[in-house]
Each structure stands twice: as C-alpha cells, then as structure tokens.
Amino acid sequence: MNTRLPEPSADERAHSEHLISLLREEIAAHGPMPFSRFMERCLYAPGLGYYSAGKTKFGADGDFVTAPELGTLFARCVVRAFEPVLASLGPEADFLEIGGGSGAFAEAALLALEAAGVVPRRFMILEPSADLRERQRERLHANLPAGLAARAVWLDGPLEEEWDGVIFANEVIDALPTTRFTARDGEIYEEYVILDGDGRFMRSDRPADALVGGAVRHVERDLGREFDAGYRTEILPQLPYWMQAVAGTLRRGAMVFADYGYTRNEYYLPERTDGTLRAFYRHRAHGDAFFLPGLQDLTASVDFTALAEAGNNAGFGVAAYLPQAQFLIAAGMQEFFEDDYLRLSDEAARFRLSQEVKKLTLPDQMGERFQVMMFAKGVDPAALPVAVLAADQGARL
C-alpha cells in the first residue's frame, strides 16, 4: 500500500479486494489484460468500478472537484455559449450532457436555460452509472420546479435516431479507458497488466495490434518524428468510434468539450517520457494505477488535436479551441459575477463567489490547465457565439 495516501475503511478495502479478485480471475483465465481493459474495469465494472459504485466522487467529500461543483458560473457560461444555437434550432432542440456527475451542471444549466428562454425539449443525460443516474435524478427533482425537472431524461446509450440540439461534456474524454504504449527498437508495444508470483498486478509490454500501431504511427507522422526508445505515453485509438457513436446522429447543432489536456505537440513533448496517466484518491493525485482498484479515479489528459480529428470525422467543424479562462470570459463570466456579487449581501458568500472565479480562471488552477473545444454542424455561422469564436486559438492545433 502507498503509505502517503489515506487508509481506506474496512468496507472500502473489502470492496476493492472484490474487484481485485475479479481482475485476477480474468487475467488468469484469458492472459495478459490490456491496460485499457484494466482501466475500464476499475472505473466501470458494474457495482464495483469507481463510477459504478456508491462512493462519493465529486466535491469536498469525494476525490476531486469539477468545475460545476464550484458553483453555477461555469454552467451559466456554457449555456450562454449555446444560447444562439438553441434559439436558431427552435423549440424542438434537445440538450445532451455526457456524463452527468453529481447533477450540479444539469441543475444550474436548466435554470439558466429557462432564464434565457431557450429551454430544450429534452435535457438528456447520457450516464453509464446507475448509481450516479439515481443521484442526479434525486437532485434535480428536489431542487428544480417540477415542470423544469420533467425535461430531464436519462439515456442508457447514445441516440440512434437523428436529432437537432447541443452536446456538452465536462471531464469525459479523460475518463475514457486509455491505451498505454511504448516504443522500442523501432516497434510499438502496448502496455498490458499481468500478475507476478504473489498475485500482484504488474506491467508487461506486448507487440501492439494493427489498431493501436496504426494510431501511433498516425501521431508520429503528424509530429514529424518517431517516438524515442523507452518513451511511454497514452493514446485513444477508439476516440473516432466513440465520437461517431455519441454524436453521429446529431444532424444540426453544436458541441462543447471541456477537459484538461494539450494540443498534440504539447501532449507528446519529448521530455514527457511517462505520459499523463494519474490517479486521484481523496483529493490527492499520484501515479500508482494499481492502488485500491475501484476506490480511485484513473485519468489521462486529452490530446485535443485527436479530439478535433474525431469531430471532423463525425462531420463537425471545429468552431473554437481556447483555454477555459478565455472561454468563460467570452461567454459572459464577468457579467454573471458582477450580477451575483451585487445581489449578495453576505460577505462570506461574496468571498466564495470570488474564490469560484479564481479556481475557474487562474492559470495555476483550471484556467489554463483546462481547454475548451466547440464544434458545429449544419448551423448558420451567425448562430454561433461571436465572442467565443473571436477568442479562438485553433491555429495551435
């Protein structure tokens, strides 16, 4: 056990041991497990994975804090960016949030959409975790007017019929099970998980298959160089297929993805020799992916160039790419902050609001570490947010 990290309770340890046993059984039965499969089971195994079980994930009592947990400013800015698109699409437009978290974003967004007069026909939440779905449902029905809460519907999978509207995803791509690879002797090797003589998880490299190898070679061609021997990092060869699945049926509309990450040139810097994979446990980040499976989050930064390519392949154009701070400012954060600040009379509440702005926008907080990418498809360019487009830094991609 990593002694620098907090001790789990007896029940938590038993929960993790249950998942560990299942992982060991699968490896024993089927051989070395691709790291992407290991990550998928650790995060999403029914009833046992980090996002599938009942442990609190978000906020002060969880393992990390996301932008919607800080307050309502983030959601209101996202809605402001979507307002012209939704207005142009009319009353039949839908809103799809991928990965609803605690429900904080949906709650604030629905109120903002109502205030702006662009309430969607449906506010859909694509959420793979049954536990999180129930928490989201309870939150919205407890905190929203009945008519507004009734707009929320939960999806078990991507929509199969064509539709018009907008898609939003915050810290979703970083939680997709990532492939780890390394270069050696001019060849590409994929990282697998095996068991040592004592049944502990350990890393093993195997020759990459055609999908992984092809994805890595594509990145090398784009970078104009091969990866150095021993260089180890991540890639999402499934990203184009995932994007097509979740967004391929969107006929007209826009998408916004917010996440921590880099352009491809920044992601694969030669000095970043061990990638971006990290774990979060009780607000502590560390590098041990095998620590307490099922109790910690596993995540890797986003290659936003790859995200742009996936969106292009699904028929979307990149409308804007910019740091989160610039996006929020362009989407009206100053206006929202000033209105809220003047309305508040409690100095403690005003302080919390100021802290919310700082965490969302300061470079050493979320302002520069998080990036935002906006896509559009089948909509008049005049229906896109002018200030956001004016702040575009897409040339960096």
CA dist., res. 170 & res. 78, Å (int): 10
CATH 3.30.830.10 fits 1-397, yes or no: no
End-to-end CA distance of the chain: 40
Which among 383, 360, 284, 321 is positioned nearest to 73, based on CA atoms? Answer: 360
**DSSP structural state of residue 383:** G
Give the residue-averaged pLDDT of 160-164. 97
Sign of torsion, CA 220 222 223 225? positive
Pairing of strands 123-126, 94-98: parallel
Using a pLDDT cut of 90, give the percent of the chain over it.
88
Question: For 40, how many CA atoms within 13 A lie in the half-sphere containing its CB?
Answer: 14
Token duo for residue 363: 């470079």
**DSSP structural state of residue 363:** I
Give the residue-averaged pLDDT of 351-368. 94
pLDDT confidence bin for 55, thresholds 50/70/90: low
Domain ranges of the chain: 1-397
What is the CA angle 231-235-238, rounded to 5? 155
Which among 309, 336, 335 is positioned nearest to 321, based on CA atoms? Answer: 309
Per-residue pLDDT tens over the stretch 186-213: 999 999 999 999 999 999 999 999 999 9
Helices 333-343 + 73-89 axis angle, to 10? 120
Whether the predicted pLDDT of 167 surpasses 60? yes
Whether the predicted pLDDT of 149 surpasses 70? yes
More confident residue, 316 or 59: 316
Strands (E), 236-380: 250-262, 278-281, 284-286, 297-299, 302-303, 317-323, 370-377
| pLDDT value of position 283 | 74
Per-residue pLDDT tens over the stretch 96-138: 999 999 999 999 999 999 999 999 999 999 998 888 899 999 9
What dihedral do alpha carbons 300, 305, 306, 309 form, nearest 10°? 160
Which among 172, 194, 188 is positioned nearest to 38, based on CA atoms? Answer: 194
How many C-beta neighbours within 10 Å does residue 115 have?
Answer: 11
| pLDDT value of position 1 | 43
Contact 131, 52 (CB under 8 A): yes
* Residue corresponding to tokens 């691709």: 34
Per-residue pLDDT tens over the stretch 12-25: 999 999 999 999 99
What is the CA angle 148-153-154, rounded to 5? 145
Of 5-14, 329-338, 358-367, 386-395, which gets the smallest average pLDDT? 5-14
| pLDDT value of position 111 | 98
More confident residue, 293 or 64: 293
| pLDDT value of position 61 | 52
Per-residue pLDDT tens over the stretch 237-277: 999 999 999 999 999 999 999 999 999 999 999 999 999 99
